[in-house]
């Protein structure tokens, strides 16, 4: 009788401490988000919250637009495009009321999944070849909006 009680206590202690526990089923491990490539729809939101997929024109801020976007690797973790940045505020003092512009390279990154799609949360805009004009905003680290979860 004493032997059965000792065996029962030892088994109970092993179960409570996790030592000697019996395998009870499948363990599910979560993969890091970077290891799972996204294969669904990808959007980017304008400054006023309009989602766009593979846009040719987008308003990055209230006074800066990106036009003539030619995307490479759209939908990947880092989508790249050659583009033209436009000054919508006309700070440059253009005499013919045309928006001033300069060539830029745009990199969208930081995909975040929302409602069955992914949205880019970060944009980096760098001047393409020549320095940015005096009126250009610093867009090297622009945060983009995403819908609420």
Chain centroid to CA 128: 23
Q: What is the pairing mode between strands 117-127 and 42-45? A: parallel
pLDDT digits (tens, 9 = 90+) for 17-69: 555 555 555 655 555 555 556 678 999 998 888 999 999 999 988 888 999 99
Q: What is the pairing mode between strands 51-52 and 58-59? A: unpaired
CA angle at 43 for the pair 41 and 45, rounded to the nearest 5°: 165
Rounded Cα distance between 121 and 73, Å, is 16
pLDDT digits (tens, 9 = 90+) for 46-59: 888 899 999 999 99
Q: Which of 11-20, 91-100, 107-116, 138-147 has the lowest mean pLDDT?
A: 11-20
Specify the pTM: 0.68
Q: Which two tokens stand for residue 72?
A: 């490479």
Residue 56, phi then psi, degrees to nearest 5: -100, -20
């Amino acid at each position: 009788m004493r032997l059965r009680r000792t065996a029962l206590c030892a088994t109970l202690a092993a179960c409570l401490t996790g030592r000697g526990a019996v395998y009870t089923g499948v363990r599910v491990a979560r993969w890091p988000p970077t290891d799972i490539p996204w294969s669904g729809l990808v959007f980017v939101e304008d400054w006023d919250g309009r989602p766009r997929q593979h846009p040719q024109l987008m308003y990055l801020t209230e006074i800066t637009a990106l036009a003539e976007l030619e995307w490479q690797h759209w939908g990947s973790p880092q989508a790249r495009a050659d583009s033209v940045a436009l000054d919508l505020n006309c700070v440059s003092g253009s005499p013919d009321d045309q928006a001033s512009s300069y060539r830029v390279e745009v990199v969208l990154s930081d995909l975040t999944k929302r409602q069955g799609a992914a949205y880019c949360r970060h944009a980096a805009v760098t001047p393409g070849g020549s320095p940015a004009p005096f009126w250009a905003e610093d867009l090297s680290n622009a945060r983009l909006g995403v819908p609420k979860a």
